[in-house]
Structure 1
């Protein structure tokens, strides 16, 4: 399939003087589209979870909500190839339109009938399949809408969008369920995603350089995939960066998801206490994203990433031994600040160190780590806490996370990596 057969042509940005990303209307339209889409995702997953619980047992609901991760993990590398072959803008617009249409169709069905769990499971599979294409394209798009020296700032703006979605999405989904049940919540999610589509259409992309446009029809998708993996493996920064991201996520996801729930129950903090701790983490992560948005460039990026991971890991271990809720909230703020800073630095380095022609595939590799491998730590963390308690498991998780920082310190290319000026 050739690029000429696509129905959404790229709108090219003519040469123009450099402009700071947070003052660039084109970048702001993309950030708005991304944020609205993420809010829609939050509402969607809440609606899916609620509908599954209403239509089946707790175990069945868990399967329905988790099933979307399977196609996402299995197909994301292929999604990265698609994004690089046909252009991230086209892929993002097309996949967002499919997500919107699918969710609105299910909302319409739920308004008139109750088909049961099979429809919800099918929706989860479709959503996860489209996400496998959508997520790599989202990661590849910023490099086409701004200059390399602004990609770190865009990463911070994206982080603020994620924090906003986390704060607004759940209450909005709950309101939709309270007003009109699962059907209304799904309709709300679909409409939010729909708002992002015209914003994405209005985003202009830069014309790719000659070395960014490979002869797509002269290579197979398999060769493109192998070339992307080889690009990561041979790169002096990207190779160790992927290991750092993997270890950081493996050590972070378990304690800050299922582990925190069990810790709050063990300490008698209750759901409200857990909410305060999560709020503290979100505040710290939001401050880190805001710092990168305002500064745009942090010197010694590789060293800062490694330097933030290790004390952040220590804060994760300390969280399990907090003597009371106020100390736990303060520790969570520190965890959010340090892990948010290291995550933003890793994301910015991934964006700036990757050749633009490979960004979809490289983003897919990072997505496989974060969305496919790291979630495996959640059931393992829960089982381990049941045997050894929260303290030892949080400490082991912190050690795994700190190993990511050690890899970054021991890899000269990553340790000395800088963001473009």
Structure 2
């Protein structure tokens, strides 16, 4: 007999609830360490992000004496190198060799897509940080949740803000040429144009672009340019953009990793005033973040950003789930149900998950300013409880193709 994903999720949740209600169902709980696998790109073009992921998760566990819900935790880190095939190999090693109880990561959308079916087949509880849209849309897995956002989820508020508050009418987008960049720009385009703006040019560059000069020379005149870059690409693009004298002619705005805190630490005053959007900022004024961000900065000499926060939040959600299941990671269904049922207070604010396993949480519009002599992403506006469907009807949304280079169609491109 076959069952739908919705039915399976329901049964999974039911199993979790039953386990919590009946202590006899958790008798198989072990007394050994909880083994957590981390998939992080520690080499390659995304290495800075992957390294931050490991630093923050290690800090989270160390702050708790490497103990969660009364059980010791063993963290096993695997370097995916930002390569899909390597990500799959490392995931297999974590599950089949290291016998991990859950996985956090990986970072890149193309890595996550490469291992999604395998993780579901192995019924491995996974706390994802990758933004790959369809993993929580048309092809959700009951064993996966995303704690960050989809590629487009944070771009939606910035697109609306650009029209309604910044009064921009024409924008050029430039992004890394892979799923994350495609989906982010597509979501931004949809909301920007639905609010009366026009995307007049779309540029996609290889992930490991050594020189942006030829692309910058092609940029058309517009009110602003939107950066859909990851890793250090935003920093390198902006430097050349300024060298070409374009920053004085058009505004620069960016997605959630374009001017991440890990990028800002290498920049100077040229970044001041640039607006970006994200689900996190090291400047967030809440008790948990006011403890985390200064501690991270003290230890590593720079502010935490998207990458570091993604695994720290993963740790917070996992800890809440482990407390709910009394540390019983051997009952995977119960653990996954507890994760999906989370309503945890985290360094990014309170979060919960929709029926597809995607986070619902605040999105922040940020402006690069100076604080104590360093560049920071100051929060200037909060959009509360943003979902992956924005204001669109969920059923209609899911009938459309996943966002891509060509969807939605760009109807206002200038020749």
Q: Same fold (TM over 0.5)?
A: no
Higher strand content, 1 or 2:
2
Task: Tell me: higher relative CO, structure 1 or 2? Use CA pairs within 8 A at least 6 residues apart.
Answer: 1
TM range (shorter): under 0.3
Higher helix share: 1
Task: Give the structure-1-normalised TM-score.
Answer: 0.26
TM-score of the superposed pair, with normalisation by structure 2: 0.27
